[in-house]
Amino acid sequence: MTNARTPLIAGNWKMNGSAAAATELARGVAAGAGDVSAELLVCPPAVLIPTVAAVLGAGVALGGQDCHAAESGAHTGDVSAEMLADAGCAYVIVGHSERRTDHGETSELVCAKAEAAHRAGLRAVICIGETDAERDSGKTLDVISSQLAGSTPAASDAANTVIAYEPVWAIGTGRTPTNDEVQEVHAHIRAVIKSSHGDAVAAGVRLLYGGSMKPENATGLLALGDVDGGLIGGASLQAADFLAIAASCP
């Protein structure tokens, strides 16, 4: 990275853990947080957020994995952005490809969720990414442009929004794009944001890469000019691996 954007290393724990396991993992991350200069964020399953909040300390931010667009009401099984904020969260992931696929979430809905995050004072981590079929047919940049335009609120800025590029085919597969391919997409994302939100937002917004990021490949990915951190799934479930990725930030 050749800029003033503080790297963000975010752990998406997905649907993993128990109160005991989450406590141990959160303690491990918190214990190492002082040794890395990157900002750290962990996103536990909703039911474990209070457990993690109780042991995390101030050096690691807490986030949700999803939120409803509404503030409250008759939405069985959902959690609002306000509830996440009340539970100690500073961030929420919206539009993860597993939500888009498992729950049919459209970019329009993702945008409404990001607006809800902003309403509640949370930073939205908006996820976008192409499938392998889309990449194979040369549509990656078109898909990215359209997901970005549809999912990013007009009021997004560098403080309230983070964009995570997660190629669907790289998630949990051990496969990643080449570093050049990642940089190409990230530079494209920044250019699209520049035309939609202006120079200052484009220059300041953090763009995370996600998809099979591990200690072994993190150094190369995090050194790319338009990569400002990572959104990590599997490797965020081991404190040592998560911290090793964070320590790889330039």
Q: Indicate which residues carry an active-site annotation.
A: 96, 166
What is the number of the residue whose Cβ is closest to ligand 13P?
233
Q: Which of 150, 155, 167 is nearest to 201 (CA)?
A: 155
Are 202 and 157 spatial neighbours (Cβ–Cβ below 8 Å)? no
Tokens of 177: 């794009």
**DSSP notation for 31-68:** HHGGG--SEEEEE--GGGHHHHHHHH-TTSEEEES--B
Q: Which is nearer to ligand 13P, 99 or 197 (by Cβ)?
A: 99
Question: From the CB of 190, what's the least distance to ligand 13P, in Å?
Answer: 20
Q: Which is nearer to ligand 13P, 38 or 82 (by Cβ)?
A: 38
Question: From the CB of 217, what's the least distance to ligand 13P, in Å?
Answer: 11
Q: Which is nearer to ligand 13P, 68 or 96 (by Cβ)?
A: 96
Residues that bind ligand 13P (CB under 6 A): 12, 96, 166, 171-172, 210-213, 231-235
The half-sphere exposure of 159 on its side-chain side, counting CA atoms within 13 A, is 3
CB-based burial of residue 179 (10 Å sphere; 0-12 exposed, 13-18 middle, 19+ buried)?
A: middle
Question: From the CB of 172, what's the least distance to ligand 13P, in Å?
Answer: 4
Q: Which is nearer to ligand 13P, 12 or 51 (by Cβ)?
A: 12
Report the alpha-carbon distance of residue 42 to residue 40 in Å, rounded: 7
Report the alpha-carbon distance of residue 101 to residue 99 in Å, rounded: 5
Question: From the CB of 195, what's the least distance to ligand 13P, in Å?
Answer: 26
